[in-house]
Amino acid sequence: MKLNIAVLPGDGIGPEIVEEALKVTRAVCQKYGHELHEETALVGACAIDAVGDPYPQGTHDLCMRSDAVLFGAIGSPKYDNDPTAKVRPEQGLLAMRKKLGLYANVRPVTVFPSLVDRSPLKADLVRDADFVCIRELTGGLYFGKPQGRSEDGNSAVDTCVYSREEIERILKLAYDFAGRRRKKLTVVDKANVLETSRLWRQIAQEMAPNYPDVETDFLFVDNAAMRLIQWPASFDVMVTENMFGDILTDEASVITGSLGLLPSASVGLHTSVFEPIHGSYPQAAGKNIANPLATVLSAAMMFEYAFGLAKEGALIREAVSASLDAGFVTEDIAVDGLKPRSTSEVGDWLVQYIQG
């Protein structure tokens, strides 16, 4: 099979972790006889610095003509520390999601047995945690209009808007996932306060009878946040709106013991994007210490979701699990007494495992 991949390393540690994911991807393609074509483009702060646009038209054109996008991270202190900046790296990510029609972010949360003790939660709470968070990506507060500051700078407004179409399509995706897993869907909202959440709950209640084999329950977002910590293994598939999903999935990430372990897929109308859920970690940029495993696991999702290549994705997961069992990991998850490995060393180890 021919695999055409757009590569968007982005900012901070993005180039380093994406390079390791590409090394693994190349090794898998070589092993299974696939033809890989890669093309790289700018996004984020580096794109602003180069051309003044965090998501240039050329980058979008590349994404549209590719089969999948492997994406690193965006963000820079240069813009984070300047509240007056008119153009920000994050605008590039939002523009990419909107223009590609990426209405759903799929984030699996799985605890690797060898890392149970690395979680800040008790081992008996996280040991069996295995669930999927599905976050709506193109609606809600992040995109609603009006949005902005007053002319005097002393007040600001954000608007939360959702349509029936937006809610139905993300719920359908969530029900499909639940139907293929343990057949339980948790809809997270704030229906006791927000009108948009009441619409979410109403539509979910209307759709639930169409999926009789799936148990549907509802949680207010504050209760869901507590349940993630108290009983993470109780979840199967969780679906929620944009901002709630942003917050809850970052909370869920610590269950595994490190932000550097969670991959994601953003899917929708056009080319899907595969990326780690963590940020650009600028403090570690260029030091060869960042954990590449979330990006590597995102590449596994890319093989499975974008190309339907289950064996290839499974081999990558097997390699990652083997590296964790062997303790061949970066400093963020290295246990006492084990030598932390560099970003590139971990990538090389994974390649050697895949090559057999």
Asked whether the beta carbons of 137 and 94 are under 8 A apart, the reply is no
**How many Cα neighbours within 13 Å face the side chain of 191?**
16
Token output for 345: 């060393």
Find the catalytic residue in 61, 217, 222, 325. 222
**Kind plus residue range of the DSSP H or E element containing 185:** strand 184-189
Find the catalytic residue in 79, 103, 142, 281. 142
Token output for 350: 């994974």
The 3-state secondary structure of 31-92 reads HHCCEEEEEECCCCHHHHHHHCCCCCHHHHHHHHHCCEEEEEECCCHHHHCCCCCCCCHHHH
In this structure, how many other beta carbons lie within 10 angstroms of the beta carbon of residue 27?
21
Determine the 3-state secondary structure of 131 from DSSP. strand
Whole-Å CA distances, 82 to 78, 86, 200: 7, 9, 36
222 tagged catalytic: yes
Asked whether the beta carbons of 227 and 192 are under 8 A apart, the reply is no
User: How far apart are alpha carbons 329 and 339 in whole angstroms?
Assistant: 8
Token output for 160: 């939360």
Find the catalytic residue in 49, 158, 246, 348. 246
Find the catalytic residue in 53, 79, 189, 190. 190
49 tagged catalytic: no
189 tagged catalytic: no
User: How far apart are alpha carbons 172 and 45 in whole angstroms?
Assistant: 35
Residues tagged active-site: 142, 190, 222, 246, 250
